[in-house]
Amino acid sequence: MIAQRTAWNNFPDVILHAEELAVKKHPTYSAAKSGDADAAFALVQDTISTDAVSKLRDLIADRKIILVSAHAFERDGVNAIPEAFADELGRQLEQSTDDSIVQVNVVAHTGANGFARLARQALFDGVVVAGADYILVDDFIGQGGTLANMKGFIENAGGKVIGATVLTGKPYSAILTPSAEQLTELRDKHGKEFEHWWQDKFGHSFDCLTQSEARYLARTENVDTIRNRLATEE
């Protein structure tokens, strides 16, 4: 089973709410990541941004949407932050939430390097409402692969993902759609044969990478290093 991805089609940048340190140094962060719902609620209340909520409201406009959160398995339990975050957003935006779409594998991305994130792709399952508009919700964005895979799963099942929001992450990570210049740099450096290999291994071309993933691969010295590092992290 491989992760599903779909074309970006000018997907909007992920809406960020808080600085990374404000989230990760919060006194309830560890407990929330390990599954404590009360800790997750306290974290969300302290870090959710009114400006970011306003941006989401503008993105939604007059549509009825579904907020869907990434239920990720961590080493110590199921991360409770995304669901608490989605619930609070649903309350503030007066929109519905869905907790039936779940991540079905353990990827251990927290604190992982870029190759580990690329090698261990998040897989999703659950019921998608065909024709419905979705916004993806997560606690953190690194390379953006989890959001890309959740988007692909939903859209291949008949839904439409119109945006995404996370509590925190680097601003450059919020740009999911790879630029034409970034894709050209990646293809020029590593060649068509490597893109064909990537397609066979991961089920998608470079066009479905996130901007951060494409940048990470382009900055790696050669194809052999990429293949070896991916094999080590699988």
* pLDDT greater than 90 at residue 24: yes
**Same-domain pairing of 21 and 68:** yes
**Same-domain pairing of 89 and 111:** yes
Flag whether 2 is in a domain.
no
Percentage with pLDDT > 70 across the chain: 95
Task: Tell me the C-alpha distance between 121 and 13, whole Å.
Answer: 21
Flag whether 10 is in a domain.
no
**Same-domain pairing of 163 and 204:** no
Q: What are phi and psi of 135, to 5 degrees?
A: -120, 130
**Same-domain pairing of 76 and 163:** yes
**Same-domain pairing of 141 and 186:** no
Domain enclosing residue 200, as ranges? 180-233
Select from 4, 18, 5, 9 the least CA-distant residue to 166: 18
* pLDDT greater than 60 at residue 124: yes
Q: How many domains does the chain have?
A: 2
**Same-domain pairing of 26 and 107:** yes
Q: What is the pTM of this model?
A: 0.93
Residue-wise pLDDT for 223-233, tens only, equals 999 999 999 98
**Same-domain pairing of 146 and 191:** no
* Mean pLDDT value across residues 125-154: 96
Strands (E), 72-159: 73-74, 77-78, 96-98, 102-103, 124-125, 133-141
Half-sphere exposure of 47 (CA within 13 A, CB side): 30
- pLDDT score of 99: 86
* Mean pLDDT value across residues 212-216: 97
Q: Final residue of a domain: which of 129, 159, 174?
A: 174
**Same-domain pairing of 196 and 97:** no
Flag whether 157 is in a domain.
yes
**Same-domain pairing of 193 and 117:** no
**Same-domain pairing of 48 and 130:** yes
CATH number of the domain within which 63 lies: 3.40.50
Beta bridge partners, 103, equal: 124
**Same-domain pairing of 120 and 25:** yes
Give 106's pLDDT tier (boundaries 50, 70, 90).
Answer: confident
- pLDDT score of 78: 80
User: To the nearest whole number, what is the mean pLDDT of the chain?
Assistant: 94
**Same-domain pairing of 89 and 198:** no
